[in-house]
Every structure is written in C-alpha cells, then in structure tokens.
Chain A
Amino acid sequence: MGAQDLAGRGGGARDNSAHVRTLRNRNIRNGLLFIAPNFIGFLVLILIPVVTLFYTSFTKWSALGEPSFNGLANWRRLFADENFKTATLNTLYYAAVHIPLTLALAFGLAVLLNAKIRGRAFFRTVAFFPYITAIVAVAQVWSMMFDPKSGLINQFLGLFVDDLPGWLSSTSWAMPAVIIVGTWREVGYFMILLLAGLQTIPAELYEAAQVDGANGWQRFWHVTVPCMWPTLFFVTVTLTITSLKILDLTLVMTNGGPGISTLVLAQYVYRVAFERADFGYASTVSLMLFFICLAVTMLQFWINNRRERA
C-alpha cells in the first residue's frame, strides 16, 4: 500500500491537507528514527562494501595494492568463461529443485508440528538438528549412504531398479545428491520460521471455518495459507536467496566435483577470489549472481504486491 493512502486514511477524521502534511512529516521523522539504529550500521558495514563491488568489477585487483581499472575486460571474459556458464546452470538447477522441495517439506512439517501431538517439542528439536550438526559430519555420513555399492540408498533402490545412480561419483547424479542433502539440512531451519508464522493465525478463523463445515484441507487453503502469506513470502525470498548463494555444502561435500558438475556460482566466486586471488573478476561474477538473485526476488515482490492489492 502506498504511503499516500495510509497518510490520507490516518487523517480521515479531520480532512484537511495541512494536517495531512504534518502527518506526513511526522511519519517521515518517526519512520527514519525507527530505522536509524539498524540502518546506520547497515549502511556503513554492508551497503558501502557492497557498492564498492560495482567499481571493482571493472578492475584488476588481487586484494593487495590498489585496484587498477581495466574497462570491460572482466565482463568480456565472463561471457567466454565456460566455468561461469556451467556454474550458472548448476546454480539454477540447484535452486529450481531445492526451493519448492524445501518449502513444501518445511511447511508440511511446521503444520504437523504445530498440531497437538505428543512429543512435539522433541520432534521440533530433532528437526532442527541437521542445521546444527557439524557440516563435516553431515557430508561424511551422507557420502556413506550415497556410496554406489555399499550405501544404504542404492541398496534400497536396488530392490526396485537395476540401473543404479552413481551419486557423488557421477557428473549427472552428484547434483541431485547435493540437493537431497541441502534439503534435508535446511528443512528444520525454515520450519522454525514458519512455525513462528503459524502462531499469528487467530484461532477464531479456524473456529469460523469449522462452523462453515470446511474440512482440514479447505481450512489449510482458505485460512492457513492466506494468513501465513507475509511469512510465506519472507521464507520464499530468503530460501531463494540462500539457495542461489549455496556454498558451504558443496564446498565440503563435493568441492564442486567431479569435474565442475556441482560447481555453483558462490563457490566460483570463492575460488576466483581466494584460489586465484583475482578479486576484480570475483566481483564481476558476484555481481552476476546478485543480478540473478535480484531478478528472481523482484519477481517475487511483484507477485506479492499484486496479491496484496487483489
């Protein structure tokens, strides 16, 4: 909703433009006051370093010494860079599968663990465990399970199919393996956020729906989802950004391999920056990652706004 609407509505009782103006000014002052404590820290510590990327992406810079301007060289290089192309496709692949999968599972789990079941607190804690277990341990145990011959997963699949996937030792199955572990690890994290959102739904709405004879599924679609919309939106945007920026998991599990079959953009940025000390080009690659994230996020904001207006 626009700023004008709200100011107008607030002054609705005594409708005169002078009052609207004072209210507007008061709102600006108050709004800025509320935002200031966070914004000042945010501006200095995050926004400014981020803005410098726009400059360093046009430079040759090893992090030591000063960046030297080299025009469009980094950008030209980007479009001829096979590693970058593969990393972009891998990132989109990861995100496209990981986002809906995680969202659906986390939402389902949150609804389930919000219901009155015995041992709820215990199950919630268990669900959060993958997120706090050391990532080395996670990678290790999953690698055992993914072992093409002795792993649990293939032994189970072997009951049904003959042609078993090679998982981490195959270029086409390594990414699905990473997605499975990524989802397994993050479901509990997003479940926490969704659980908090579920708490904000007024019980009366469910009672009213029940009186109207709505079944469980209808209540879910017509009460839970609409009331959860702001939270769902937040979770979707956050999930999108973290998926597009996925790094630590591939770093520990596959280090981008075999070959570059699980190399993702954030890891490529990390490699170019720290393995090759090429911070100029790393800025260029990270800006591309930024633009991809931004495009998807803007789309989500646009859909959200349309929905709110509707």
Chain B
Amino acid sequence: MKALRSCLAAVAAAAMACSLAACGGGQADAGRNPDGTISISLAGWTLATRPEFQALADAYHQAHPDVTVELKEYSADDYDKQLIADLSAGKAPDVFPMKNLRMYYTYAEPGALADLSDVAAAYRGDDALRGLDDYTIDGKTYALPYRQDVWVLFYNRTMLAKAGVDAPDGTWTWQDYRNVCARLKRALPEAGYADAYPTYHHTSWQSMPQGIALAQQDRGEAREVFLSGDYTYLKPMYRLLLDMQDQGLTLPYNTVSSSKTTYQSQFGTQKAALLPMATWYLGPLADQQRSGDADRFDWAIAPLPQRTRADTAHPKSFGDPTGFAISGTIGGERLAVAKDFVRWAASEDGALALARTGTLPAYFSDTVLDAFFSRSGLPQDAMSRRAITGSAISPENPVGEATQTIQDELNIAHTSILSETKPLDAALASAAKAINGSGLLPGRQE
C-alpha cells in the first residue's frame, strides 16, 4: 500500500514537472546523412488543395539537390493553436510560417524562434522585399517574409459599365467611393442587378476598417500609433461604414456576422459591384471563374480609396506579411540549411516559384510581378499592377507585447460599433481603457 502510494506520488511529481517545464525534448539534432543529403521539415496548410508550400519545397530541392524539404500538414484555420502546442513541447518542425504578425511577438519573445538577424541583413536596402521591417523586435529579426498581401479595391467592370458608372481611376477618396456607391444604388436595379448592393464590406474581420484606418491616419508611424493607447484615429472610417450600412449601400454588419457571409459569394456571384479586399483573392477569383464557381464578368483592381485627394498620389494600404521562422531548438548544420531555405524563400528565386502558383510573394520585382500576372484570368491593366506595387503597405498587426490584447479589445469595440449596440465614442473609449489598463503598452509596464 505504502509502496504503491509513494510510487504514485513519484509518477505524479515527474508528470507535473514535465507538464510545465520548458521541455526541450526536441528531435535528435541530426546533421547530414552519411551520403551528404539532409532533410528539413516545413509546416504548411491545405497541402492537398493549394500548391504554395509544395512549390517552394520542390523549387528549393531542384536548386539544392542535397536538401529535401519535408512538408508537415497543419490546419490553416487553427494553425496557431497547433504551433503553440508543438513549440511548448519542443516538437515543432524546423521551419514554420508566421501566418500574420498577430502572434509573432508571442513566439519570438520567449526564445522559441531562432535569431535570423544575419539572414535579414542580406536584404537591408533591397526595396523589392516588402514587410521585412515589420519583423524587427529590439533590433533583431526572427522571421523573413515570403508573402505580402495588400488590400486593394476589387471592382466588377461589367456591372459598373452596365450601370453607367465610371470605374475607379486611382484618384478616389472615401467620399468619392461613397458617392459612387450612392449612384450605383440607384442605377444597379435598372441595369438588371435586382438584389445586388453597390459594395460589400467584409466586416466579419475587424481589419475592415481598422487596418485601413491605421494605414491611412496622419498621426505618425503605424506601430507607434497602434501602441499609443489612443484609438480615436479609427473614428472617421467607422463613421463612413456606419453611414454606408444605414444607407443600404452595403450589407449591414448584423447580416454579415449572423449569416457568416463570405466575400467570395458576394463579389463572385455579382451581389456587389465593389469590394475592398486583399490580393489573396486574386488567384482564387480567377480560378473560380474558370471552374464556374464564380460568375464570368470583367473585373480588375485599383488602389484603396484614400482619406484625401493628395494621398491618392501615393496611396496607403495595409497587409501583414507572411514569413518563415525557424525553431529555436535546432542548431548546427540543420540550422544553417534552414536559414538558407528561409533566405531563399524571401529571394527573387523563391518568389518566382511562389508567383506561378497564384500567390503574391513578398519580393515585388518586375520579373516576379510579370510571373504573377501571367496566370490566366488575372487583370492585365496598368492600374491593377500599380495597386500592388504603388501602395505603401502598413502592417495590420504592428508587433509589440500588447498586439494581441489590443486587437482583442478593438474587436469587441468593432462588433459593438457596427452592430450599433454601443455608440462609437463609448465603444472606443472602453477599449482604450482596457488596453491601457493591461499594463502591456510600451513604457507602461509594471
């Protein structure tokens, strides 16, 4: 009996210890195989249906025949939950994506990611690579971008033409945008689009409009403003959205959220003539038109409308880069190979492999964009290209210790404001109060 009891106690203590301690555990840090080959593991999602990760793995292997990149399947939807678990138990793959910037600080801060500052240094001054600076924490870099999406304005040229409304010309302010929508509201039913709205705002995501408002505000650099604890810069965009949903220019938030509307179903089946959305929709829209899942119509993209006419000369938009990071537990030869893969994925070579799959890479060189737009079904006009290359891109989730808390609180404000259950000022004030009270903002730590 006593022996049993002490045995149980020992098991319990051991189990408890390893459930909390930072169990390195980790895989045996194998270097190269005897024949000189080495394989590194790479996390990816929707491997069966999206060629993005496979294309990178194959192209890298082709350029470096001694290295095999093995893909490990993760959930696209709940990726961060799986990654947190794996990193906490030391079971993460060698290389894994940072889906966006929201969780980046959480991973980097406790040392779960390898320091890639030396790799990043190779790209300093290379303007073609977008999003690199977003990964800087205290002068160090723990991930390199390989994809960079930008928010733009999608428009259905066929619908606009039938309604007799001019297509966006890259000089629109939000006021122009609103006026066009008002004209479309009158013209669309006569043009034969009975149940269509002028535009669709995908307000299930707080980035519509918070990402836009942060990118286009004139108070200062996005990261500083975001971490300042003052969120009144969001007001003009929210006033616009509230006004537009009250005027019936777009599907109201309450419908969008309760019916889980997808933007593809609204724009792809011509239920909306305009759509502010990110470039990740370009490839899928072209594909869906080919497969018949979306209607066939003529469409293109333009830069997002701007706050002032002057801004339209240098449009401001937003979008988080997607990057690759390396597990902090690996070292030696393995780390060197992993670093080279991450460097390559950010380069023009990696970008070309990616661009051919219909994914917009982070390396915006002419060659890469040519490759990207060569995919059939994508718009070929100069404005569509300018919408991508000409926009200054702010991060959606500027990196800091408070990032997740800020976004969570601002999301609560977002649903209160757009459901019109709480006045704009009050909702933003209570979010600011909670964020400032968290003690996580820079310079305000306990």
Contact = CB atoms under 8 A, between A and B. Distances in A.
A115 interface: no
B162 interface: no
Interface stretch (B134-142, B265-273, B364-372, B411-419): B411-419
Contacts of B420: 169
B437 interface: yes
Interface string B1-28: 0000000100110011001111000000
A87 B16 CA distance: 30
Interface stretch (B43-51, B105-113, B376-384): B105-113
Contacts of A259: 412-413, 415-416, 419, 421-422, 427
A82 B434 contact: yes
B84 interface: yes
Interface stretch (A64-72, A122-130, A227-235): A64-72
B405 interface: yes
B421 A66 contact: no
Contacts of B404: 275-277
A18 interface: no
Interface in A48-77: 48-49, 51-52, 55-56, 62-67, 73
A257 B415 contact: yes
Interface stretch (A1-9, A141-149, A153-161, A298-306): A141-149
Contacts of B81: 274
B12 A48 contact: yes
Given A48-B12, A277-B84, A140 B254 contact: no
A260 interface: yes
Interface residues of A, number: 43
Contacts of A257: 257, 412, 415-416, 419
A147 B260 CA distance: 13
B258 A143 contact: yes
Contacts of B111: 64-65
B87 interface: yes
Contacts of A211: none
Contact of A277 (B8, B19, B103): B103
Contact of A258 (B16, B107, B421): B421
Contacts of B258: 143, 146-147, 168-169
A80 B80 contact: no
A262 to B, nearest CB: 10
A140 B413 CA distance: 24
Interface in A260-292: 260-261, 271, 274-278
A242 interface: no
A299 to B, nearest CB: 30
A260 B412 contact: yes
A48 B408 CA distance: 31
Contacts of B22: 64-66
A70 to B, nearest CB: 9
B106 A62 contact: yes
Contacts of B15: 44, 48
B142 to A, nearest CB: 13
A44 B422 CA distance: 47
Nearest to B80: A274
Contacts of A65: 22, 110-112
A42 to B, nearest CB: 12
A238 interface: no
A63 B408 CA distance: 19
Given A51-B16, A277-B103, A171 B421 contact: yes
Instruction: Across the A-B interface, give the 5 residue pairs with the lowest CB-CB distance, nearest first.
Output: A65-B110, A258-B419, A259-B416, A169-B254, A257-B415
Given A44-B15, A52-B16, A276-B404, 5 more contacts: A66-B20, A148-B254, A171-B422, A257-B416, A276-B408
8 contacts: A56-B20, A64-B87, A65-B22, A65-B111, A143-B258, A258-B421, A259-B413, A271-B408
Interface of A: 43-44, 48-49, 51-52, 55-56, 62-67, 73, 80, 82-83, 136, 139-140, 143-144, 146-148, 168-171, 255-261, 271, 274-278
Interface of B: 8, 11-12, 15-16, 19-22, 80-81, 84-85, 87-88, 103, 106-107, 109-112, 254-255, 257-260, 404-405, 407-408, 412-413, 415-416, 419-422, 427, 430, 434, 437, 446
